[in-house]
Amino acid sequence: MSRRPFPEGAAGTETTPEVEEVGGLDTALAPPWITILHNCDCHTFEDVVKQLIKAIACSEDRAWEIAWEVHNTGKAVVKVGPETECVRVGNVLAAIGLLVTVTQS
């Protein structure tokens, strides 16, 4: 902070903050995390759909789409985001024994 004097004869002082413009800063962000649900033959579609709704707060229609993707392709990404949220989703899915991978993309 700098002080700018008042003209001669003026009483007091006024403070003016120094402002430095910073431009062109590139902030490196870590890649997002992903939660992947893998296919297994040990759960019904209904069980998987119910758990997906709990884990990612999606509609029942969306949960069925994901369940069919997992069934047909062997896996599906169900969450992309911060590590803590992806781990939370993975834990909810794994709570009934679903096969889940949480990794950084």
**Predicted confidence (pLDDT) per residue in 7-40, tens digit:** 555 555 555 556 555 555 566 788 899 999 999 9
CA-angle at 72, arms to 71 and 75, nearest 5°: 65
Q: Are 75 and 35 in contact (CB under 8 A)?
A: no
The more confident residue out of 90 and 23 is 90
Q: Is position 18 within any domain?
A: no
In whole angstroms, give the CA distance from residue 5 to residue 105.
56
Whichever domain contains 91, its CATH number is 3.30.1390.10
Per-chain mean pLDDT for the chain: 85
As for how many domains the chain has, the answer is 1
Q: pLDDT at residue 87 above 90?
A: yes
Amino acid symbol at 92: V
In a domain, 13, yes or no: no
Overall pTM surpassing 0.85 (yes/no): no
Domain span at residue 95 reads: 31-104
